[in-house]
């Protein structure tokens, strides 16, 4: 049995992934519509991150890997750091996002970031830390309540 924090991580992380899919698909479709010669690039830029997310989720949530936990945390920090940097670049992220996705797209992106921050925070709670330390093996049942 996994601790409550890990179960909440699963819910929040997979919800954030589900929110990312329509926006990623829309952006891939936009790239393919404007540049038909970039099919492989567009499909790889959509598929590889999803596969990477699912692999990290598996190693964190099922295998109790501390290394995967820290890799995911570094990816989230990079995402958070790059968000304002990309926004400040010429043309700006918000201008591009508004053009591609509208205000709803930006709201979904910010909601996705908030879900990921919360999910990652769950990995650092006491019950999750004990679970990672035991490498996912059964531990004191009192941490599950």
pLDDT digit string, tens, across residues 58-95: 999 999 999 999 999 999 999 888 876 665 554 444 55
d(CA 17, CA 31): 21
Give the C-alpha distances (Å, rounded to integers) separating 3 from 7, 15, 52.
6, 19, 24
pLDDT digit string, tens, across residues 91-124: 444 555 555 556 677 778 889 999 999 999 999 9
* Percent of the chain clearing pLDDT 70 (strictly above): 79
**What 8-state DSSP symbol labels residue 101?**
T
């Amino acid at each position: 049995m996994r601790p409550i924090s890990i179960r909440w991580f699963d819910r929040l992380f997979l919800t954030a992934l589900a929110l990312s899919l329509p926006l990623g698909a829309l952006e891939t479709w936009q790239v393919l519509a404007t540049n038909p010669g970039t099919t492989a690039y567009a499909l790889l830029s959509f598929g590889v991150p999803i596969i990477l997310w699912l692999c990290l989720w598996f190693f964190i949530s099922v295998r109790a890997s501390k290394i995967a936990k820290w890799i995911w945390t570094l990816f989230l920090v990079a995402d958070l750091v790059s968000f304002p940097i990309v926004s400040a670049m010429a043309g700006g992220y918000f201008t591009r996002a508004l053009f591609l996705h509208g205000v709803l797209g930006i709201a979904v992106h910010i909601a996705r970031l908030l879900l990921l921050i919360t999910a990652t925070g769950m990995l650092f709670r006491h019950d999750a830390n004990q679970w990672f330390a035991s490498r996912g093996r059964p531990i004191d049942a009192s941490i599950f309540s």
